[in-house]
Amino acid sequence: MGGPATTLVSIIMFIPICFQMTVMRGVSSLTRADFLWGTAALWQNNGKTHLRQHSTVSTTTSSAASSSSTSSITSTTTFSGEEQQQQQNSFEVSLWLIPPSDVNDKLQSEIDRLAFLHAPDASGISFAPHVTVVGGISVNSPAQVDGMVQTLRDGLKGFGSVDCEFDTQLAFETKQDDNGQIVVWNQAAAATLHVTPAFLQLCQTARILIGMQNTDCLFPPPILHPHMSLYYGRKGVPLPNEIEPVPAFTADRVSLWKTWPSDNEQGVLQWRELAVISL
């Protein structure tokens, strides 16, 4: 259906602008080096190159998503009157890949335990288990968020599940400034993800849908890799033998979170989930 021209357009729409395309044969996961060099979600099968195609990608940008047509959207992104006043300026949201309920409960208990164990004075911060798909998405109003949610619902419908497996060796990154003060608090203890073509395609598809396809796709330093954080904080970082390994799971949902303010760990207390979107 659609013929060669439609096929060509579909392929072009999926060409990662911020990843260098690499064709793989028989590769089930990508190494950290592969990811940093931008390996795309392509592979070969029986001599033909294929894209794992989950859904039709809409190139609707975030500005279009905030148009007046959003008035008919049924959304969970309700903002209180106080928040409406606070959101006169731009703020940030993030799209997270979230575990299924049973795994989520186990990971949430571990995150809560580590936060209390290493910061009983309440300086430790708890947060929801997640792997960031797209972070630091700048928006200007709750109405724009509603439009973005609908765009993501439509564009990711039928995408399919994403298998997630993590390194058993954890990453501990607490980068310090010239004065010895810890400046990286949100990568203090994390399990790095084995990046697969499906995860990379999810990242790229989401970026296209929200109009960020021309921005830098690499994940923030110092880890520079997709990961699941297990501890936020500048002190009392857990030791490797104190942390339970992150189990493998298959994710079929993403959630959009308000992740603002993001300049310090106390800001996490103001983060909240805005919408859950099925893949």
CA distance 124 to 235: 8
Residue 53, CA distances (Å) to 110, 120, 122, 276 in order: 35, 47, 45, 22
Whether 61 is in a domain gets the answer no
- The pLDDT value given to residue 177: 53
In a domain, 74, yes or no: no
In a domain, 39, yes or no: no
pLDDT for the residue numbered 207: 95
3-14 helix and 197-209 helix, angle to the nearest 10 degrees: 90
Question: What are the pLDDT digits (tens) for 246-268?
Answer: 999 999 999 999 998 766 677 78
Q: Is residue 220 part of a domain?
A: yes
Q: What is the CATH number of the domain that holds 154?
A: 3.90.1140.10
pLDDT for the residue 126? 87
Summarize the confidence of residues 128-147 as an average pLDDT: 94
Residue 52, domain member (yes or no)? no
The predicted model gives 100-107 an average pLDDT of 97
For residue 248, the Cα-to-chain-centroid distance in whole angstroms is 17
The reported pLDDT for the residue numbered 107 is 98
- Cα separations (Å) of 103 from 32, 69, 95? 24, 37, 19
Closest CA to 232 of 124, 89, 139: 124
pTM exceeds 0.75 for this model: no
Which residue has better confidence, 215 or 211? 211
- For the ranges 50-64, 134-148, 157-171, which has the lowest average pLDDT? 50-64
Digit-coded pLDDT (tens) for 42-74: 233 333 322 222 232 333 333 333 333 333 233
More confident residue, 214 or 137: 137
Q: pLDDT band at residue 214, thresholds of 50, 70 and 90? A: confident
Please count the structural domains in the chain.
1
Is 11 domain-assigned? no
Is pLDDT of 150 > 90?
yes
The closest alpha carbon to 262, from 185, 181, 175, 210, belongs to 185
Give the domain extent around 130: 91-278
Q: Is residue 75 part of a domain?
A: no
Q: What pLDDT score was predicted for residue 181?
A: 57
| pLDDT-derived band at 210, boundaries 50, 70, 90 | very high
The answer as to whether 18 is a domain residue is no
- 117 pLDDT higher than 70: yes
Q: 77 near 274, Cβ under 8 Å?
A: yes
CA pair distance 195, 236, nearest whole angstrom: 29
pLDDT at 175: 57
